[in-house]
Amino acid sequence: MARLWVNGGSWVEVKDAEGINIVHLTVDNKEIAVSGGQTILEAVARMPGIGNIPALCYHPAVKPNGACQLCTVEVSENGGSKFRFVVACLYPVKEGLVVKTNTKMVRKRRKGIIEPLLARCPNVKKIQELAEEYGVEKPRVALLGEDCIHCSLCLRACQETIGKAAISLVTQGIYKEVAASFYGYQVSEEDCIGCGDCAFVCPTGTIQMGPDGKPVLPKVKIPYSEVEAMSKRSSYFL
């Protein structure tokens, strides 16, 4: 029998359950047994006190996409002799897998992710808490004062759980924004059913529900190149 941890403070001696897909792995030197078919992040999230894996773009209501990379961990598939970095929200649990969630290199990678987020969203409580935990005191770039971290949880919730497309990411690169159709910050009656899923999954509280029962999105700053392009397209129909 193996000693298997059920949370950060207790363990039990168990035998393999016949006919049940049980996966045995080690997380931060603690042996755990979980059901197969889930990711490392899902497995650890169900065991309080086991591992240390933060995440911003993950929510159990939608499919993971690994956008923020904050849940990066080290894994070994050969008993711990060789490790590599993987994104925990996408990497499936495997028999004999060894996982390290809070090593010096893992923390360094997460710190490198949190610093630009703090520069973009210095007033967001969740980002402030992560910055404090990982020792990010002051970003080396200018503070922008935004609230949205572009995790895409809102639009994925709208598309996957509701089957709508009331919200999308517009433009690219540093100009990327969350918006409704035609760069709007208020969704249309046709596209939105007012379910509030987008506000519910938002990790920073950027999206709020308005008095009309519809989400109010951040006001979009349209880059000049897009304005010029839209003006040219409009002139074709004059």
Domain ranges of the chain: 2-102, 153-235
Distance CA(236)–CA(238), nearest Å, equals 6
Arithmetic mean of pLDDT, 219-226? 56
What is the residue type of 224? Y
Q: How high is the pLDDT of residue 189?
A: 74
Query: Please, what is the Cα angle at 91 between 201 and 104, to 5 degrees?
Result: 90
CATH architecture under which domain 153-235 falls: 2-Layer Sandwich (3.30)
Per-residue model confidence (pLDDT) at position 196: 92
Q: Which two tokens stand for residue 106?
A: 């893992």
Dihedral of CA 48/51/52/54: which sign? negative
Instruction: Of 170, 81, 28, 35, give the one whose Cα is nearest residue 43.
Output: 35
Q: How confident is the model at residue 36 (pLDDT cuts 50, 70, 90)?
A: confident
The Cα-based distances of 213 to 117, 159, 179, 181, 218 in angstroms read 30, 19, 17, 18, 16
Q: Exposed, middle or buried, 71 (CB in 10 Å: 0-12/13-18/19+)?
A: buried
Q: State how far the Cα of 181 lies from the Cα of 167, in Å rounded to an integer.
A: 7
* The predicted structure's pLDDT at residue 127: 94
* CATH fold label, 2-102: Ubiquitin-like (UB roll) (3.10.20)
Q: Give the pTM.
A: 0.80
Mean pLDDT of 26-45: 91
Model pLDDT for residues 55-113, shown as the tens digit of each residue: 999 999 899 999 999 999 999 999 888 999 999 999 999 999 999 999 999 999 999 99
Task: Look at residue 224 and tell me whether its pLDDT is greater than 50.
Answer: no
pLDDT (tens digit per residue) in 116-172: 999 888 999 999 999 999 999 887 777 778 888 889 899 899 999 889 888 887 766
Confidence of residue 10 (pLDDT cuts 50, 70, 90): low
Question: Kind of pairing, strands 10-14 and 2-7?
Answer: antiparallel
* pLDDT for the residue numbered 230: 45
- Measured CA to CA, the distance from residue 63 to residue 210 in angstroms comes to 27
Q: Rounded distance, CA 139 to CA 114, Å?
A: 9
- pLDDT, residue 150, reads 87
Mean pLDDT for the chain?
Answer: 83
Supply 183's token pair. 């760069």
pLDDT of residue 216: 83
| Res. 43 pLDDT band, cuts 50 70 90 | very high
- Residue 11's pLDDT is what? 62
Q: Which amino acid is at 177?
A: E
